């Protein structure tokens, strides 16, 4: 089965930290990997409009850990709705179960959140869900299974939640219960990302 293996080489290629690690390599070497990396960072490599659009698409795919086929399906579903396709696309990505687990602070990175979901650590509305791409809806309750809370990974999560950054406005966190509720659809500032979704729409609309 095809999968994305997260690497700081991807972060350096895109020029932003996508892996979520505190010691991401892009912070030390802010240029693409390879022999032409430093030259590219100084603007010696010209990028076409197509290239810019593709780079934004790659950023989004790598940030959320989504492969091309599934990402295209997300775009096609967003384009069928009436309204802003770019916003619908980001909303779909943000409401993936693995991303919600990450946004609630139950995992350090999206990759770790994906592993938690795949290994059966997470429930939705009390039922076990092990599909990272599962789409949550407003009103859904996401929680860490009670019988998994003694695991080392979850204990670290409890300690981290006390120091965690502010939870996004569209989520409600109960740190003591290791649970969270989807209270609204992400919009406005909650959709701001390191990539430009409008360029992704342009890429697929060629």
Burial code (b: 16+ CB inside 10 Å, e: under 16) for 99-138 equals bbbbbbbbbbbbbbbbbbbeeebbbbeeeebeebbbebee
Query: What is the reported pLDDT for 94?
Result: 97
Average pLDDT over residues 132-140: 97
CATH 1.10.1050.10: which residues of the chain? 1-46
Instruction: Indicate the CATH number for domain 96-184.
Output: 3.10.290.10
CATH 3.10.290.10 spans which residues of the chain? 96-184
**pLDDT tens per residue, range 65-83:** 999 999 999 999 999 999 9
The pLDDT of residue 23:
58
- Here the tokens at position 171 are 């989520």
Backbone angles phi, psi at 179, to 5 degrees: -140, 165
Q: Count of CB atoms within 10 A of residue 75's CB?
A: 22
What Cα–Cα distance (Å) separates residue 43 from each residue in 36, 37, 169?
11, 10, 38
| C-alpha dist (Å) from residue 199 to 18, 27, 107, 116, 169 | 18, 25, 29, 32, 26
Model pLDDT for residues 147-183, shown as the tens digit of each residue? 887 766 666 666 666 555 678 999 999 988 899 999 9
Architecture in CATH of 1-46 = Orthogonal Bundle (1.10)
What is the pLDDT of the chain when averaged over all its residues?
83
Q: What is the pLDDT of residues 82-121, one digit of tens each?
A: 999 999 999 999 999 999 999 998 988 899 999 999 999 9
């Amino acid at each position: 089965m095809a999968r994305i293996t997260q690497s700081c080489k991807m972060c350096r290629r895109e020029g932003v930290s996508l892996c979520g690690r505190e010691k991401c390599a892009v912070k030390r070497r802010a240029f693409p990997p390879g022999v032409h990396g430093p030259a590219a960072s100084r603007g010696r490599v010209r990028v076409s409009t197509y290239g810019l659009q593709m780079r934004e698409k790659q950023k989004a795919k790598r940030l959320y850990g989504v492969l091309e086929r599934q990402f295209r399906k997300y775009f096609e579903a967003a384009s069928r709705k009436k309204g802003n396709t770019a916003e619908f696309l980001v909303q779909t990505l943000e409401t993936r179960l693995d991303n919600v687990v990450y946004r609630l602070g139950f995992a350090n990175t999206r990759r770790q959140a994906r592993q938690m979901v795949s290994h059966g650590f997470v429930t939705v509305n009390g039922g076990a869900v092990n599909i990272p791409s599962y789409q949550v809806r407003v009103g859904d309750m996401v929680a860490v299974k009670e019988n998994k809370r003694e695991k080392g990974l979850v204990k670290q999560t409890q300690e981290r939640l006390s120091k965690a950054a502010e939870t996004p406005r569209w989520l409600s966190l109960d740190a003591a219960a290791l649970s969270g509720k989807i209270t609204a659809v992400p919009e406005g500032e909650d959709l701001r990302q390191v990539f430009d979704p409008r360029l992704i729409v342009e890429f697929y609309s060629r």
